[in-house]
Amino acid sequence: MVSAANSSQPSSKQGSQQGSPKRDQVWLVTLDPTQGSEIQKTRPCLVISPNEMNQHLRTVIVAPMTTVTRPYPTRVGVRFQGKQGQVALDQLRAVDRQRLVRMLGKVSAKTAQDVSATLLEMFTRT
């Protein structure tokens, strides 16, 4: 059973000023503190979790975005705010809404589709 504390809307002003985050939106997210090989810093992240989850939970599933490109099959190319980069699907994280700083925009429909297709490929059992 989900407790009320985990399923209610966030009480923090940070991350809730602009409503619930929505899938395919890009938010500036504070990822520190991190451990080991996790992507660090405050950086743009793509919201991956479905809108229904985002409306009811205090956590949001995000994928960090980076301008450092790697030839990994878990990375999806993206052009956002004039910069070329990648969505790092190998670095998915569930973050509390308190880590969300502000909404920056939304990725293109093609990028959103490419991300969904890559996630299906990653998690489909063969």
- Does 104 have pLDDT greater than 90? yes
Answer whether the bond into residue 73 is a cis peptide, omega within 30°: no
Residue 65's nearest CA partner among 42, 96, 88 is 88
Confidence band (pLDDT; 50, 70, 90) for 26?
Answer: very high
In this predicted structure, what is the pLDDT of residue 7? 39
* pLDDT at res. 28: 98
Q: What is the pLDDT of residue 4?
A: 37
Residue pLDDT, tens place only, 47-75:
999 999 999 999 999 999 999 999 999 99
Helix, strand, or coil (residue 56): helix
Residue 119, pLDDT above cutoff 90: yes
Domains and CATH numbers, the chain: 4-123 (2.30.30.110)
How far apart are alpha carbons 62 and 45 in whole angstroms? 6
| The residue count for the chain | 126
